[in-house]
């Protein structure tokens, strides 16, 4: 997987020039007055609309990558929390059994006291750091009844198991604390990038906003043209394949077994894809919210996960895991229902609907919509995956 590409700020840096000290205060004053009269104030030039647009796009991209990191961390945290809960429940059960075993040993010690038995005080066992060492040293086991020996064995076993589980629970709690800290860091990273993007956009004048909208419209038109080209290419390829199949049937050279198997597979996938697409279409118009998995809002991977779940297929939570589920296919062979992944860091995903278009949750401030898969240019398309 390629490394994450980050935007690097550009600009002019005004370096200070060291000059030798002047001989007199008068000459120094003259130089300062000359600089004041001729030099323009030092300030960064205002970025162009094109630069603002690129930086905002970069920030949204970085925010999506940070969102996927947040999603992965949240999944890990949830799993770790379940493990901690399970271990704590186990410790509680084992502690109860240990207390029962201790009470039984205590009853034996009381009986020995009442009868004046000469066996070492069993109560001392209950305070021993290592019960097994205590038994070995005092040879108490040789003087106990069968029932007492069973009780002692139970006590030793439960104490060892409880001690082990308590250590595991303590370690898991520490891991959970670390995961929760990482979750907060990921969340803050997303919020910071989104705040910076909003700040840039808020400083634009009405005229600049109109120019930015014109740039976006131009990009959209180019993306739509590219989508239409892909649709035409696929239609031509399909027509050619149908003509070839018809010619084979006429000549009687068709291999029936292979064709039947392929047809069955395609039919099964199409049925599932139709269900995923039907679900996705009903989500159009709902807001993008980072970290959301529905039903009222979604992020990109949350939408694709929910859509394919409606078709009976369980996808992982993040784009980084979804890209590894199913079969990777070339862009020229893309079919409705396929997942389209974007950017070298695989931080965005959409659900292909056909004719070069997809349904996706684009970015913060936008809504689930149908859009060309070339919305950011063909170069950002990472891969196409058929998940079922």
Give the residue numbers annotated as catalytic, written as ranges. 300, 348, 360
Sign of dihedral through CA atoms 22, 26, 29, 33?
Answer: negative
User: Using CA atoms, how far apart are residues 199 and 47, in angstroms rounded to an integer?
Assistant: 14
d(CA 347, CA 300): 9
Strand order in the sheet with 357-360: 327-329, 381-386, 339-342, 348-354, 357-360, 369-372
Please give the Cα distance from 304 to 351 (Å, whole number): 6
**CA 8 to chain CA mean position, Å:** 24
Q: Are 122 and 149 in contact (CB under 8 A)?
A: no
> What are residue 120's DSSP bridge partners?
none
Q: HEC profile for the chain?
A: CCCCCCCCCCCCCCCCCCCCCCCCHHHHHHHHHHHHHHCCCCCCCCCCHHHHHHHHHHHHHHHHHHHHHHHHHHHHHHHHHHHHHHHHHHHHHHHHHHHHHHHHHHHHHHHHHHHCCCCCCHHHHHHCCCHHHHHHHHCHHHHCCHHHHHHHHHHHHHHHHHHHHHHHHHHHHHHHHHHHHHHHHHHHHHHHHHHHHHHHHHCCCHHHHHHHHHHHHHHHHHHHHHHHHHHHHHHHHHHHHHHHHHHHHHHCCCCHHHHHHHHHHHHHHHHHHHHHHHHHHHHCCCEECCCCECCCCECHHHHHHHHHHCCCCCCCCCHHHHCCCCEEECHHHCCCCCEEEECCCCCEEEEEEECCEEEECCCCCCECEEEECCCCCHHHEEEEEECC
């Amino acid at each position: 997987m390629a490394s994450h590409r980050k935007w690097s700020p550009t600009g002019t840096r005004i370096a200070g020039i060291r000059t030798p000290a002047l001989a007199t205060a008068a000459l120094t004053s003259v130089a300062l007055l000359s600089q004041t009269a001729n030099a323009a104030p030092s300030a960064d030039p205002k970025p162009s609309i094109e630069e603002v647009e690129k930086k905002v796009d970069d920030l949204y991209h970085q925010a999506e990558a940070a969102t996927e990191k947040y999603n992965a961390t949240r999944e890990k945290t949830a799993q770790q929390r379940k493990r901690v809960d399970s271990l704590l429940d186990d410790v509680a059960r084992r502690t109860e059994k240990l207390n029962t075993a201790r009470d039984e040993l205590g009853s034996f010690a009381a009986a020995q006291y009442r009868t004046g038995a000469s066996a070492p005080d069993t109560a001392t066992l209950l305070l021993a750091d290592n019960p097994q060492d205590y038994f070995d040293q005092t040879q108490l086991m040789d003087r106990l009844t069968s029932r007492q020996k069973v009780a002692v064995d139970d006590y030793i076993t439960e104490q060892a198991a409880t001690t082990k589980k308590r250590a595991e629970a303590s370690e898991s709690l520490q891991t959970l604390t670390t995961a929760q800290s990482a979750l907060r860091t990921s969340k803050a990273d997303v919020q910071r990038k989104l705040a910076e993007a909003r700040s840039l956009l808020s400083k634009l004048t009405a005229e600049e906003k109109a120019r930015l909208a014109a740039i976006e419209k131009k990009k959209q038109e180019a993306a739509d043209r590219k989508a239409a080209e892909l649709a035409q290419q696929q239609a031509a390829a399909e027509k050619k394949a149908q003509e070839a199949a018809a010619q084979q049937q006429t000549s009687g050279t068709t291999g029936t077994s292979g064709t039947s198997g392929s047809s069955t597979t395609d039919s099964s996938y199409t049925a599932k894809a139709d269900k995923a697409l039907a679900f996705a279409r009903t989500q159009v118009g709902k807001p993008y919210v980072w970290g959301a998995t529905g039903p009222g809002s979604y992020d990109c991977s949350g939408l694709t996960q929910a859509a394919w779940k409606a078709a009976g297929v369980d996808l992982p939570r993040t784009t980084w895991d979804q890209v590894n589920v199913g079969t990777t296919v070339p862009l020229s062979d893309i079919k409705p229902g396929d997942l389209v992944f974007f950017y070298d860091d695989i931080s965005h995903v959409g659900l292909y609907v056909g004719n070069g278009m997809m349904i996706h949750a684009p970015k913060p401030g936008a809504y689930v919509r149908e859009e060309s898969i070339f919305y950011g240019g063909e170069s950002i398309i990472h891969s196409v995956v058929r998940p079922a």
